[in-house]
Amino acid sequence: MGHKIASLFILLILVGGAPALLGASPIPFSTSPKSIKKSSVVRDVPRTVAFREEKHRGLLVKVWINDAGPFTFAIDTGAGISLISTHAASLASVSRLGTSTAVGGLSGAAAAKGLNATLRTVAIGERNNWLNKNQSAIIIDNLPGDIDGVLDPTAAYLPFGYSIDLPNHVLTAFDPNTRPLNINDTPDGGTVVRWIDRGAGRRPFVRLNDGRLALLDTGSGFGLAISRSQTSSKYRGQPGVHDLGGGQVVSERVAPTTIGIGALTLQKIPTDLLSGVEKDAPILLGRDALYPFRLTFDPVQRLIEIAPSDGDR
C-alpha cells in the first residue's frame, strides 16, 4: 500500500535555501462515531500539554514511545498517520509488521520506503500522559536528525477530540460525548463547520464558502496553499524543495487572499502557489492562515470549530 503526502509539514533538508516538505497520506477512518462513543469511557482524558513552534520545524512536543524517550515529534493534522524515525523506532523497540509501504509526496513521486509498525504505548507532554495504545505508524529513514517523528493527533487521541491553540501553544483533549461541538453554537469571531471526508481518509477537510475543499494542516507553515494549475498566475522562478518522495515542489508567495469558512471570513491571508504538485493535490490552510485561532476537532460529531484565541505569540 502506498501513502501519498498531502500535508506540507516542513522538515527535511534545505534545497536552494528553502525547507523541504513532508506529510503523510490519508488512512481510512475505520472507527465509526458509534464505536467511539462506546470506547470513550474506558480511560481518563489526556492532560493538556504545551508545545513549541519553530518556523521550519512546526509544532513540536515531547513524546514517549513504548516508555522510551522523550522524543521530539511534530503535531501534524494533515498527516493521516504518525511517522517515526528509524533511530527512534530502534530506541523504543517499536514492533515492525514486516511489510513496507511506498511514501510519496505532493509531486507524485514515491521513491521513499517506509515500514509499517505498531506503537504499543504513546505518551505526550509527560511520561504518564497516555494516548491510544497499539497505534499504527510508519518508520521512515529521512526525517532530519532533530525530529524523531510526526504525530497525527486525530489518530493519536481517539476516542477523544482535541484542540490546538496556536497562539497559546497548548494541545488539549476533550471527551466529545460529554463536551460535543454543536453546528449551531457559533463562537464570537469564529465558526463551526462540517468535518468533510475526502476519499477514504480522516484528515480534517473543510468546505470553503466558494465550494472548494481545504485541508486544515498544522504541519504546514504556509497560508492558503493552492496548486498553480488552479490559477492563471505565471511562475516567476522561486527555489524548489524536495518532498518526502523525492519529487520537487516549488512555492511562491503571492498577493493575500480573502476566503470564507462558514460564518468566518479570513481577510488578506498569506497565499502560496505550488508548482510541481499532483493534479489532485488538496488546497491547504497552513499555520500562517490559521493563526491566531484555536482549532477544535470533534471526531464523533464530525465537526470542527475555528475560534479566536486570546493568546499572544
Indicate the length of the chain as a whole number. 313
Residue 8 sits at the vertex; the CA angle it makes with 7 and 14, to the nearest 5 degrees, is: 145
CATH 3.20.20.10, applies to 9-174: no
Domains 9-174 and 191-308 share a fold: yes
Percent of the chain whose pLDDT exceeds 90: 61
Q: What is the dihedral of CA 236, 242, 245, 247, to 10 degrees?
A: 40
Q: Is pLDDT of 27 > 50?
A: no
CA distances from 91 to 12, 85, 189, 244, 297 (A): 21, 10, 45, 23, 32
Nearest to 51 by CA among 175, 160, 217, 172: 172
114-131 average pLDDT score? 96
Angle at 205 between CA 44 and CA 311, to 5 degrees: 60
Using CB atoms within 10 Å of the CB of residue 33, give its burial: 0 to 12 exposed, 13 to 18 middle, 19+ buried: middle
**Angle at CA of residue 128, ends 124 and 132, nearest 5°:** 60
Mean pLDDT of 2-25: 37
Task: Give residues with Cβ within 8 angstroms of 258, minimum separation 6.
Answer: 265, 266, 267, 268, 269
Instruction: Give the residue from 274, 279, 282 showing the smallest Cα distance to 198.
Output: 282
**Per-residue confidence band for 265, with pLDDT thresholds at 50, 70 and 90:** very high
For the stretch 69-101, pLDDT in tens is 999 999 999 988 899 999 999 999 999 998 887
**Domain limits, the chain:** 9-174, 191-308
236 against 100, higher pLDDT = 100
Cell of 143: 526525517
List pLDDT tens digits, range 28-76.
333 344 444 444 334 699 999 999 999 878 999 999 999 999 999 999 9
Which of 3-7, 137-141, 293-297 is predicted with the least confidence, judged by mean pLDDT? 3-7
CATH superfamily of 191-308: Acid Proteases (2.40.70.10)
Query: Looking at residue 113, what is its pLDDT?
Result: 79
